[in-house]
Structure 1
Amino acid sequence: MRAHQRGLVLPTSWEKGAGSRGNSRHLEIKETRIKYTGPGSADKDAASVRADNFVPTSLPIYYFEVEVISKGREGYIGVGFCTVDVNMDRLPGWEPQSYGYHGDDGNAFRSDGKGRKYGPQFGKGDFIGACLNRVDKTISYFKNGIDLGVAFHNVLEEQLFPCIGMQTHEEEVVANFGFGDSMARFSADVDDMKKAAAGRMESEIMRIALPNQGRVGSLMGELLFGYMVHNGYWETAAAVAQDMLEGTVQVQPKDIQEVKLRNTIADDVVAGNITEAIHLADTLAPGMLSANPSLQFRLHLQTFFDLVRAKDDNGAMHFARDILVRAVKTDMDYQELQDALSLMGYDDPATSPCGQMMSQHTKDELAHAIMTAIRKHLGRQQHSALEKAILQLMGVLTALEERGSPEVGLLEQTKNPTCQAWGEIRNSRSGAQL
């Protein structure tokens, strides 16, 4: 069975045939109901299953819910999302590209076996909801209709499936995937979630400062010029300034230097040149790191990881004692420090439960976080006005398409150049192709 929402294929039940693979033989699966029947004696007995369809990437807010029928022996029930290639012999959140909120300890797990304190424990009679927000790139959870807050930020995977995992005997849940009349039986108010998300987007749009058209005589010229400067396309920016804006604006040397330094800092983080990255960050944005101590702590962690990779246990311990311990400012920093220290107990740290901390993906995320923090510290916008306008336009076009508006299909056929451009954006779905 497939459920459709304005032409979108949605999850409707747990994956057909899942019980014939790996540890999933320990799961008794009947449509939306799952019961664990395995031995449940150790982590190796964990079993998970994903939904029959992934959450459509064009759906801004997606919510599903499970009712805990029985917590079984221990209540090792994990609720979350995962990609199609995740190892399902593990609980949600224990593997890369998976996310989970676990009932036995209330911890939130993202891509490794070490969770962090997030919400309350849950068990028999509780309704646990999971909300994937594509706009904010977050995952949040609800217990009995109460919002527990954002559990995971920067959720970038395109194809995410609702998933559930169990580990001890007699654990049992039934899911509500929200199609048909079942949405009315959610313990949380999904309509309010959507209204709140729409309100945040509207506020963000209203905060966009458009150039003063009368000042230079060309709104499009200023939008293009701002985009080129924001992304470091200096020669093109100079051409736009001369040809479209008649020389009323110029590329400033300080802008060129700032963007080059930002890019160099990001490259240094990705390459592992942490000392140089910290030096350049202090040069470009003095006080930024001291204002973001957890970011500074994560930078120091990369140096620690390099010592662990080099099997320099003595150097790693000295660095942890002299630098990392002093850099800890929050409970999350402390948890990350404990996870990082655990790496030293493995012959191959990269394959340990916390090995994801040493991955290239983690470096890429850190580089992006530093670029964001520098822009904010210097009072710069994260996106140019043109990029924000295009993202909004894409959202409007998608909404019109989902509602079956016939006008959308005519955009690329009109002779109006602007409408033709909109039609190309509609087809490409990428604001980067300017």
Structure 2
Amino acid sequence: MKLHYIRFLAMLALAALVGCTALPISLRGGLQGTQADGVSTPTPDLGFETVYTPTPSTASPGQTEPSPATGTTLRLWVPPAFDPAGTSQQSKLMKDRLDQFTSENPEVKLELRVKDLEGAGGMLESLVTANVAAPLTLPDLVLLPRPLLESATLKGLLSPYDAMTDVMDTESWYEYAHQLARVQSGTYCIPFAGDTILLAYHPSMRETSPASLEDTLALGEVFLFPATDPQAAFTLNTYLADGGTLQDDQGRPVVDETVLTSVLDNYQRLTQAGVMPYWLTQFSTDEQVWESFLSTPYPAVATWASSYLKHLQAGEGDLAVAPLPTLDGSRFSLASGWCWALAGQNADKQVLAAKLSEYLVDEKFMGALTSAAGYLPPRKDALQSWPDVELRQVMDTISSSAQLLPPVDLLASIGPALEQAVVDILKAQTDPQTAAETAVRQINQP
């Protein structure tokens, strides 16, 4: 009876593993902003699995092609936005690249499953379930956003690349990409697509973009940003650009009261001048500020590159982009992204999966894929293939000064306190010093 019960539980676990959806994903603020909704043609529901087989090739005289039965099968998991069976341009590019890999490596068969990021049968839940109940069903390679990469790594669900690849040793990667690839002290992923916080504006309303918040004040025009963003990404960007710190020597969350007071003092001046009005506290997401940005005569918005590129691809006119203004005009942008991680437990297949991940971050393919999907290439040489020279140049400037968004657990400790401090200033409920002191007491706990 006990054996039957165990088998029943195993069957339930396997059922959870094959669960997936064809819903569009959302990449929100460094993996928390929106992405691709309304841009790509809806992906048809083709079931939970798409299997790629090697493209027929011509064997050399006297040479026998390997039999599929004796070849190696690599399992891949990807989110719906990168489904090779979809009808979007990025789907076609992904399919062509995978077909090319199997053509060049005929001994390999690729089995690909499309997994939603969250919910029942989502990426992380499926990895946890498979790791315990059915490790042979684990994907050898999985495409994860940074927050899920952190969670999966800390749960012991992923393997480091270690010496399996030297692809990250080249100088073509942006600094934030090197940070994206690492969790704690190991290289746990190969970056595939990036996202950074930046400034979008209407060039018809503004000839130049402000470099500093002082410039923004001088212009006297409403500056849109999601003031009640739980991660407080814009405020965090401003704070870090001014030299603020987030952790002490022991890794505990801390906030510098002096720097935060300076940031909030500037916010107060902007609020009093009507540049940061109190009604910005009704906005907590990129979607909300973009709705206001496109429907009202406000010239600029703090947003994420993926949101800007989505609207650009959708045919929205009168849009331009620039680095986000900071207190002193220095360039600084928080960033996040997607990357390929090793989830399988077979050592031989890990080496082959590492080879496939290298193949999927080739600069020409990455440039075309990110351009189609509405993300930023995390390597410089890939960005050079973008056809729009002006856009390419400004995105290179922004990416070159980008730093990785803090870890999810740190954001959870710091974000709400910063959010409340911003709300209190915009609603004139307290002064900058008091708001900063309150946030510091909440965050800097022994």
The TM-score range, normalised by the shorter chain, is: under 0.3
TM-score after normalising by structure 2: 0.26
- Greater CA radius of gyration, 1 or 2? 1
* Greater relative CO, 1 or 2 (CA 8 Å, sep 6+): 2
